[in-house]
Structure 1
């Protein structure tokens, strides 16, 4: 994905649109119950308009397809979070983001409320939504919890899943390697989750998969100040661990599985250090 001053392109099987690279913090003072710019007190006079796509295929059409609008907006906002286009600590208004996507503020606000439930943003009354500021300790805590859940499950799967089932996961592992080489953090985040989700799905425990997916997504959010943001080399190294893990699972090498999963999570966060008194 090419990133620049105007934004970053996002392609999925369901839709194509652009997420602005920079959206200014809003200046808002009061609330109204409509979906025009300024709705719910989200005044936008302090924000610069976000340009729409120029001439070309699709010009003049809504930026987002009308089917499953809320879900598409939610995916777009999640992508913007991972890509660092929604900065920790900044406040964003639903009307301005809605203008960019070619929809009313309502589906944007609903998507933001879902992100608030997930802990990614917090509601700022009469202003909008602030991206939560996270530090390295929270990232380490998430890595520790993920390891507690996934290591025992993967060891059990290594003992019970036949080699032909693991062979079906090779395209997903290889996709992470391919995407990592592009250096696109947002696209790699989706590919990374898809691989882990497929592995854990072999357990047959839907609740476990759902919880692990939530923890994984949280672990991908940027830290305050942009610290800990993975570069291309980090993504490539992370993807290589996927293929090594799949080889160990296929061979039923429990020692290698345990070591690889522990190393995989350790690479995502610093060790937990108790705060000084």
Structure 2
């Protein structure tokens, strides 16, 4: 349940497509230069201009050699870019309050501005960024109060569900989730904020899925993702020890659920959210 992380990010690739590696998602904030360029789309006679201003930034070299395969393949490009942007957001690569244009981000990923713009529009729907007309997308600035409110909502939803599951789910089913808890421990040991965020959400999705309510899982996962966004003015990284301690709570929670220890389950979940 983290909200800020180290400056690294891993975009998840679609089936049959290469990963967007950490170095491919480092996105510098854009200076407010006087010059303005626009993305040009191919059209008869060269007509047709559309896109955000790029503030006369020097093109960012694509992370591939000339003639090599593109960093992102055409299949599932938008999904890969969305995953990479989400990872960059969690890792603090996209800084709160900064504005980023689709053409410049497209240069960084080695794709056109179109899939980047579509992915950013999805992030805008999720509340992670806001549209800045003729400039691009600004990362939303969030404070500790919003994070506390998210933790309160998550506790109101998930604590009763987990208490009910503790009374009804047999211990053998909880044992099946042990590999997911172990995966969070390994991710925390790596110190990679984006990798840990993904494994953290995967564990909680699996726990809540036992309730048999897909709408609950989807809604809770959205709240969880929002809780992982960086806070304005907060450090970009948390210590590896903090991540390891957070991951250890997953293992303790499974033990309490399997033992049907309701007071411990309630205490662990509330403290887990508060610690985020």
Bin for the TM-score computed over the shorter chain: 0.7 to 0.9
Following TM superposition, by how much is the alpha carbon of 1:16 offset from its aligned partner in structure 2, in angstroms? 1.6
Q: Which residue of 1 aligns with 2:157?
A: 149
Higher relative contact order (CA 8 A, sep 6+): 2
The alpha-carbon distance between structure 1 residues 39 and 254, as it changes in their structure 2 partners (threshold 3 A), is farther
Q: Which residue of 1 aligns with 2:45?
A: none
CA contact (8 A) 2:97 2:140 kept: yes
CA contact (8 A) 2:54 2:101 kept: yes
Is 1:193 aligned with 2:196? Answer: no
Q: Which residue of 2 aligns with 1:177?
A: 185
Instruction: Output the CA distance in 2 between the equivalents of 1:134 and 1:91.
Output: 15
Deviations 1:92-130 (A, max 9, x none): 000011112121111110110010010000000010000
Count matched residues: 261
Deviations 1:186-241 (A, max 9, x none): 11000000000000000000000000000000000000123485321111110000
SS at match of 2:233: helix
Query: Which of residues 236, 247, 255 in structure 1 aligns to 2:255?
Result: 247
Query: Which of residues 8, 16, 19 in structure 2 aligns to 1:16?
Result: 19
The alpha-carbon distance between structure 1 residues 13 and 105, as it changes in their structure 2 partners (threshold 3 A), is closer
Q: Which residue of 1 aligns with 2:173?
A: 165
Instruction: Output the CA distance in 2 between the equivalents of 1:252 and 1:228.
Output: 38
Is 1:67 aligned with 2:70? Answer: no
Q: Which residue of 2 aligns with 1:271?
A: none
Q: Which residue of 2 aligns with 1:48?
A: 58
Following TM superposition, by how much is the alpha carbon of 1:172 offset from its aligned partner in structure 2, in angstroms? 0.3
Q: Which residue of 1 aligns with 2:106?
A: 98
Q: How high is the TM-score relative to the length of structure 2?
A: 0.87
The alpha-carbon distance between structure 1 residues 25 and 170, as it changes in their structure 2 partners (threshold 3 A), is farther
Which segment drifts farther, 8-17 or 26-35?
26-35
The alpha-carbon distance between structure 1 residues 84 and 63, as it changes in their structure 2 partners (threshold 3 A), is same
The alpha-carbon distance between structure 1 residues 228 and 44, as it changes in their structure 2 partners (threshold 3 A), is closer
The alpha-carbon distance between structure 1 residues 11 and 29, as it changes in their structure 2 partners (threshold 3 A), is closer
Instruction: Output the CA distance in 2 between the equivalents of 1:162 and 1:86.
Output: 43
CA contact (8 A) 1:24 1:48 kept: no
The alpha-carbon distance between structure 1 residues 173 and 28, as it changes in their structure 2 partners (threshold 3 A), is farther
CA contact (8 A) 1:42 1:94 kept: yes
Q: Which residue of 2 aligns with 1:273?
A: none
Which segment drifts farther, 230-239 or 38-47?
38-47
SS at match of 2:70: coil
Q: Which residue of 2 aligns with 1:221?
A: 229
The alpha-carbon distance between structure 1 residues 8 and 140, as it changes in their structure 2 partners (threshold 3 A), is closer
Structure 1 gaps of 5+ residues are 269-277
The alpha-carbon distance between structure 1 residues 24 and 69, as it changes in their structure 2 partners (threshold 3 A), is same
Q: Which residue of 2 aligns with 1:205?
A: 213
Instruction: Output the CA distance in 2 between the equivalents of 1:161 and 1:171.
Output: 18
